[in-house]
Structure 1
Amino acid sequence: MKIVDVCAFYSPRGGGVKTYVGQKLAIAERMQQDITILAPADEDAVVELGPRARIRTIASPRFPLDRKYWYFKDERALHAALDTLAPDFVEASSPWRSPLMVANWRPEVPKALIMHADPLSAYAYRWLEPLVSRETIDRRFVRYWDHLRQLGRLYDAVVCASEDLASRMKAGGVRNVVTVPMGVEPQRFSASKRNGDLRACLLAQCGLGPDATLLVAAGRLAPEKRLPMLVEAVTIAGRHRQLGLAIFGEGRDGTNILRSIGGNPHIRLFRPERDREKFASVLASADAFLHGCEAETFCMTAAEASASGIPVIVPDRGGAADFAKGEMGLSYRAADHTDLVRAILALPDRFTARSTGRMARAMDDHFAALFAIYRNLTSGELSSAA
């Protein structure tokens, strides 16, 4: 099957979507699927990554709020690229304008919308929920809900990676919603990657000895990730016990995060660790993973941390919440730094021994389920079992 992923969120400089795309290209090759990632960029180009895997870019403008990304503007150029590629199945992975462009191309070709973003949680709920109820916000954003419902009619499947997002889409009247949870790279993340020297080194860089607790946070530095809230909570909790926080990431909110850290010597901001093996060791060597964003559609880093055998401390809403279920997770009220302090201080009471690692769904299973849905759609059937 020839699949084209019209991927508006792809950036070569990193992020969760880049990680997902890299895994998709490698796994699809093994599964005998032909995959093209069609993404916006500075110029038209094609990078062949294998006999059945490639990234093709279309010259497009930079996204003004985050220059690391671009956006599709020229619908004719997008359609021309799809005509050339002649796919059997098309994915779109943005809930904004580009899925309408894709839907206008050859309606007879089956299509799926992959919900890689949750704008309502990332923006509307985050900004307005302290002032009004979620129900009121949804009524005020009825035009966006109408847009989502339109996409549900135009696309053969609207794919969500967590039940939290899928249930909200269905409750909002979006049709053709299916849940296909993501996973982690097989054998990459496990408790066996723990490294005592690495842990001691990170704590030392936080001005602490090996008896302290090492917390790790990782991901794109953006306002919806609420990293200043994590910094504030760790600073407060650190008055009661020795805590170090190592943050790995880059992005437009970096200056604001550094300002929130201020003179706290026990919290450090590091550049992202792009070597996946080294990052797996970082996660496994920590004492817990800390996350602040309630707008995740899945939360890859929480999945990787859970598979690495460390506790996760995550909001009680959004895709990350799934990883607080069971004995190796703690949740706190989303956006509530006081309750986050409580969760951090509860850590030694709840976790007296390290786990061998949670059995996480493998990315191979995710793509096998996804491609099975695509095969059913190309034959006119939608599988209800993801």
Structure 2
Amino acid sequence: MHIVDISALYSPTGGGIRTYTRRKLQTAASFGHTMTVVAPGGADAQDEIAPGARLITIKSPHFPLDKNYSYFESDALIHRLLHELRPDFIEASSPWGSSSAVAEWPGTAPRALIMHADPLTAWAYRWFERVARRETIDRGFDWFWRHLRRMDTSYDAIISASRNLTDRLVAGGLSRVQTIPMGVEPGFFSPSLRDPALRARLLARCNLPESATLLVGVGRFSPEKRWPMVIEGATAAGYRRPLGLVIIGDGHARRRVVRAAGDNPHILLLAPLNGREEMARVLASADLLLHGSSAETYGMTPAEARASGLPIIVPDDGAAIDQLRPGAGLAYTAGDPASVAETVVKAIDDLPALRAGAVADAANVEIMDRHFEALFALYEQIAANPATARAA
């Protein structure tokens, strides 16, 4: 099959979606498929990632709030591209406008919508969580649920990478949701990469001795990642236990994150690392992962931390909670910095047991290639009998 991915959320500087997309391109041929990913970008370009696998970028306008991302200029452009590429199967990777454009393309190719974004959790729930119950917020944003239900009738499958997201989509009235957990890139992450010297250097940059606890957070500096809340919680915990917090990332909300860190000498903000190998060493060498976002569709960073033998602290809402295993981490009340502080203190007190549990669990983390195996098998089934898939 020739699979075409209209990938509105891809960015060359992005995190999880970029990792996922490039790995899919690298492995498509091994599953017997050719693949073309089309993404909006800063310039017209074409890159052959692997034999039979192309990444095409179309010069497009930048998002006003985040110049790392662009958006397709029109539905007509997407329709023209699909007509020229003649796909056997189409993916849409954003639940926004491009999903409607793919749904309305008049070609006969079957299609799947991959939920690489959770807009309600990223924005609506976060904005109004202190003043309204989630059921009330959902009623106020019923226009978006109606949009998703229209996509549900227009696509052969809606792909969710986590049980948490699947449950919410089904509760919202969608009937074609398929849960296919994503997994981590193989060959990078391992507890064996733990480096005491690296850990000591990072703690020293946090003005702390090796006897302190090293927490790490990874992700874009954007509002849904909740870094100011993470910093507030870690700072409060730091009055009770000596700890350093290293946050690796950048983004359009950088000023807010820097302001939240203030003059705290025990918080270190680092630019994104150059390679996966360096990230794998940092994750294996830290003591705890502290994750803030409840808007994940899978939780790539918590999964990579698990594969590194690193205990995780995650919110009790959103896809990241799917990565939590008993005895290998803890959960706190989403959006609550006081709960973050209490949970961090408890995790530090229980660290030897949590570390042992996390190291034992590391080998259980699924690799991304198994996700692609299941995904492509589903596509083949749909392509062979799309009428049956639509009736499911």
- Tell me whether the two structures share a fold, i.e. TM-score over 0.5: yes
The answer to whether the Cα contact below 8 Å between 1:290 and 1:312 also exists between their aligned partners in 2 is yes
Aligned to 2:349: 349
TM-score (norm 2): 0.95
The answer to whether the Cα contact below 8 Å between 1:58 and 1:78 also exists between their aligned partners in 2 is no
AA matched with 1:34:
T
For the residues of structure 2 that align with 1:368 and 1:175, how far apart are their CA atoms?
A: 23
CA RMSD of aligned residues (A): 1.4
AA matched with 2:369:
D
Aligned to 1:10, the other structure's residue is in SS state: coil
Query: Which one of 367, 374, 385 corresponds to residue 369 of structure 1?
Result: 374
Q: How does 1:82-97 map to 2 (within 5 A)?
A: 82-97=82-97
Shift of 1:175: 2.4
Shift of 1:45: 2.2
Aligned to 1:301: 301
Range that drifts further, 71-80 or 220-229:
71-80
Q: How does 1:221-300 map to 2 (within 5 A)?
A: 221-300=221-300
Shift of 1:107: 4.5
For the residues of structure 2 that align with 1:250 and 1:151, how far apart are their CA atoms?
A: 33
AA matched with 1:54:
R
Shift of 1:61: 1.1
For the residues of structure 2 that align with 1:163 and 1:367, how far apart are their CA atoms?
A: 17
Shift of 1:185: 1.4
The answer to whether the Cα contact below 8 Å between 2:117 and 2:296 also exists between their aligned partners in 1 is yes
For the residues of structure 1 that align with 2:350 and 2:389, how far apart are their CA atoms?
A: 40
Aligned to 1:378: 383
Q: How does 1:142-157 map to 2 (within 5 A)?
A: 142-157=142-157
Matched, 1:126 2:126: yes
Matched, 1:340 2:345: no
For the residues of structure 1 that align with 2:26 and 2:11, how far apart are their CA atoms?
A: 17
Aligned to 1:319: 319
State the identity %.
49
The answer to whether the Cα contact below 8 Å between 1:222 and 1:252 also exists between their aligned partners in 2 is yes
The answer to whether the Cα contact below 8 Å between 1:186 and 1:362 also exists between their aligned partners in 2 is yes
Shift of 1:20: 1.0
Shift of 1:84: 1.8
For the residues of structure 2 that align with 1:126 and 1:348, how far apart are their CA atoms?
A: 28
For the residues of structure 2 that align with 1:93 and 1:307, how far apart are their CA atoms?
A: 26
For the residues of structure 2 that align with 1:161 and 1:44, how far apart are their CA atoms?
A: 30
Range that drifts further, 46-55 or 177-186:
46-55
Aligned to 2:195: 195
Shift of 1:14: 2.3
Aligned to 1:214, the other structure's residue is in SS state: strand
AA matched with 1:361:
E
The answer to whether the Cα contact below 8 Å between 2:22 and 2:49 also exists between their aligned partners in 1 is no
For the residues of structure 2 that align with 1:217 and 1:275, how far apart are their CA atoms?
A: 16
After superposition, the C-alpha distances for 1:206-240 in whole angstroms (9 at most, x for unaligned) are 11111110000001110111101111111111111
For the residues of structure 2 that align with 1:195 and 1:29, how far apart are their CA atoms?
A: 36
For the residues of structure 2 that align with 1:177 and 1:251, how far apart are their CA atoms?
A: 31
AA matched with 1:374:
Y
Aligned to 1:67, the other structure's residue is in SS state: strand
Range that drifts further, 317-326 or 275-284:
317-326
Shift of 1:46: 1.4
AA matched with 2:198:
L
The answer to whether the Cα contact below 8 Å between 2:156 and 2:389 also exists between their aligned partners in 1 is no
- The runs of 5 or more residues in structure 1 that have no matched partner are none
Aligned to 1:24, the other structure's residue is in SS state: helix
For the residues of structure 1 that align with 2:9 and 2:110, how far apart are their CA atoms?
A: 21
AA matched with 1:257:
V
The answer to whether the Cα contact below 8 Å between 2:2 and 2:34 also exists between their aligned partners in 1 is yes
TM-score (norm 1): 0.97
AA matched with 2:22:
G
After superposition, the C-alpha distances for 1:222-261 in whole angstroms (9 at most, x for unaligned) are 0111101111111111111110000000101111111111
Range that drifts further, 40-49 or 110-119:
40-49
AA matched with 1:351:
L
Shift of 1:171: 0.7
Shift of 1:325: 2.8
AA matched with 1:362:
I
For the residues of structure 1 that align with 2:229 and 2:27, how far apart are their CA atoms?
A: 37
For the residues of structure 1 that align with 2:7 and 2:226, how far apart are their CA atoms?
A: 25
Range that drifts further, 117-126 or 6-15:
6-15
After superposition, the C-alpha distances for 1:128-164 in whole angstroms (9 at most, x for unaligned) are 1210111111111111110000000000000001111
The answer to whether the Cα contact below 8 Å between 1:128 and 1:137 also exists between their aligned partners in 2 is yes
After superposition, the C-alpha distances for 1:337-384 in whole angstroms (9 at most, x for unaligned) are 111111100113333143324210110110000001100010116789
Higher share in helix: 2
The answer to whether the Cα contact below 8 Å between 2:31 and 2:376 also exists between their aligned partners in 1 is no
- The runs of 5 or more residues in structure 2 that have no matched partner are none
